[in-house]
């Protein structure tokens, strides 16, 4: 039982040493593992750290991207994750599991691998993310009924960042022991996947309303008190052109393969 652990890296120098140590601990849960990283041009020592680590751990494979793939951040991140996904698909017989993760401050905290170890013994998930301490933080990447799309694409978005976070936190707290929380999309910095359920999907940082049933969009609009979908320019995110890349990835897997996307109430990093 092998796993490919992957993700994009850009200006992650301050966090990489601890993140890579955590990855080694994650890898210990499998017979063998591979680390696949998509490196984007950085202004710090990220590339040097990767080169030095590769000498110590030859399981690391990293691609150095030299050409900007898009002017939009979520499009660039999607391209990076899809590069990793291509490697996984080309080696599907070797890697029945893959972990997609971020390499920043969220995943450089002390890791408790037991929740992941226990998850590998159960069959009630295809994509699984985990809770974080002191609370679930990745509200942009989450879609859960009745908040089925992106809170940034409806009115009252700032207020509903907090409201949706509390909604997810409370749902996780109310779960019966041993249960997982079903959702449409969730990442939260790290998710593990059964590869065979994610062969007909890809990461997409565009606004993919076409992937979601009309009632999903209407449900979110009603829940957020919005007249409908809105497009705002947040400076670092252009609402007309950008959405969290995980949402399209998960929804396509649900539609095409019946993938079960779940959130565990347990905390890996904290």
CB 188 within 8 A of CB 101: no
Q: pTM for the complete prediction?
A: 0.96
Return the axis-axis angle of helices 73-90 and 245-257, rounded to nearest 10°. Answer: 40
pLDDT confidence tier of residue 23, bands split at 50, 70 and 90 = very high
25-32: long-range contacts (C-beta < 8 A, 24 or more apart)? Answer: 25/111, 25/113, 26/99, 26/111, 26/113, 26/116, 27/3, 27/59, 28/113, 29/3, 29/113, 29/116, 29/117, 29/120, 30/1, 30/2, 30/3, 30/97, 31/1, 31/2, 32/2, 32/59
| Lookup result for tokens 């539609």 | 255
Q: Are strands 127-131 and 190-194 parallel, antiparallel or unpaired?
A: antiparallel
Tell me the sheet residues that pair with 65: 40
Least confident among 37-41, 118-122, 179-183, 206-210: 37-41
pLDDT at position 270, please? 75
What distance in Å separates the CA atoms of residue 130 and residue 125, rounded to the nearest whole number? Answer: 12
pLDDT confidence tier of residue 231, bands split at 50, 70 and 90 = very high
Tens-digit pLDDT profile for residues 52-74: 999 999 999 999 998 888 999 99
**pLDDT higher than 90, residue 42:** no
Buried b (16+ CB within 10 A) or exposed e, 27-56: bebbeebbbbbbbbebeeebbebbeebeee
CB 198 within 8 A of CB 241: no
pLDDT confidence tier of residue 236, bands split at 50, 70 and 90 = confident
pLDDT at position 140, please? 97
What's the chain's Rg over C-alpha atoms?
A: 18
Tokens of 41: 């041009």
Mean pLDDT, the chain, rounded, equals 96
CB atoms within 10 A of CB 110: 10
pLDDT at position 53, please? 96
106-113 mean pLDDT: 92
Tens-digit pLDDT profile for residues 242-259: 999 999 999 999 999 999
Q: pLDDT over 70 for what percent of the chain?
A: 100
Q: Give which of 164, 143, 155, 152 is closest to 234, Cα–Cα.
A: 152
Q: Are strands 97-101 and 2-9 parallel, antiparallel or unpaired?
A: parallel
């Amino acid at each position: 039982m092998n796993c490919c652990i992957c993700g994009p890296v850009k200006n992650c120098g301050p966090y990489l040493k601890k993140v890579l140590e955590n990855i080694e601990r994650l890898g210990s849960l499998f017979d063998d593992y591979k680390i696949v990283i998509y490196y984007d041009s950085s202004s710090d020592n990220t590339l040097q750290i990767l080169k030095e680590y590769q000498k110590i751990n030859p399981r690391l494979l990293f691609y150095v991207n030299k050409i900007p793939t898009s002017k939009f951040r979520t499009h660039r991140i999607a391209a990076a994750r899809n590069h990793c996904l291509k490697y996984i698909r080309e080696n599907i017989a070797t890697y029945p599991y893959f972990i997609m993760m971020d390499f920043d401050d969220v995943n450089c905290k002390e890791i408790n691998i037991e929740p992941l170890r226990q998850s590998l013994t159960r069959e009630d998930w295809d994509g699984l993310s985990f809770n974080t301490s002191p609370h679930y933080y990745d509200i942009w990447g989450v879609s859960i009924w009745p908040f089925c799309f992106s809170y940034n694409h409806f009115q009252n978005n700032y207020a509903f960042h907090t409201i949706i976070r509390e909604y997810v936190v409370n749902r996780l707290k109310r779960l019966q022991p041993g249960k997982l929380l079903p959702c449409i999309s969730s990442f939260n910095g790290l998710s593990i996947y059964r590869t065979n359920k994610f062969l007909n999907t890809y990461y997409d940082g565009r606004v993919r309303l076409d992937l979601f049933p009309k009632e999903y969009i209407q449900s979110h609009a009603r829940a957020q008190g919005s007249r409908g979908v809105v497009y705002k320019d947040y400076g670092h995110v252009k609402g007309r052109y950008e959405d969290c890349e995980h949402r399209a990835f998960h929804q396509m897997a649900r539609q095409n393969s019946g993938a079960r996307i779940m959130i565990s109430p347990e905390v890996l990093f904290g």
